[in-house]
Amino acid sequence: MKYWSYEEYLGLGLGASSFIDGRRFNNYREMSEYMKAVRENRHPIDPESEEKYSIREEMGIFVFTGLRKAEGFSLRQFRKVFGEEFFDVYDMDIVKRYKGMLIYNDDRLYLSERGMDISNRIMAEFV
């Protein structure tokens, strides 16, 4: 659930993904490398796996993963994470274009049942 809520998470095991302190990275995928790190009391993080995204890309990830949840996401949380108002970054016309499918209600943005049917098309507007 932390992944879908744009919260930090630590992946455990071979090839597992993590998101900590704004960094995205993976553990080694090869068993020999993974086990060597464990035996040496090191974190089994593959140093070449770190992914760096721009703030705008991170915003898109926040929206994309948030809309995967039935309750959607909080615009207040968006502001808390990124320091910007959601509708200063994204055009309100997106909500209007998908009226009845992308619901803006008070502090939340979420997909209706009909919106879930075309969720990939709607989410593509934000990435």
- Three-state DSSP class for 112? coil
Helix (H) or strand (E) holding 49: none
Name the residue type at position 56: R
pLDDT tens string 13-50:
999 999 998 889 999 999 999 999 999 999 999 999 99
pLDDT tens string 50-81:
998 999 999 999 999 999 999 999 999 999 99
Taking the whole predicted model, whether its pTM rises above 0.85 is answered as no
| Spatial separation of the C-alpha atoms in residues 66 and 62, rounded to whole Å | 6
What six digits make up the tokens of 77? 């949380």
Nearest to 70 by CA among 25, 24, 21, 109: 109
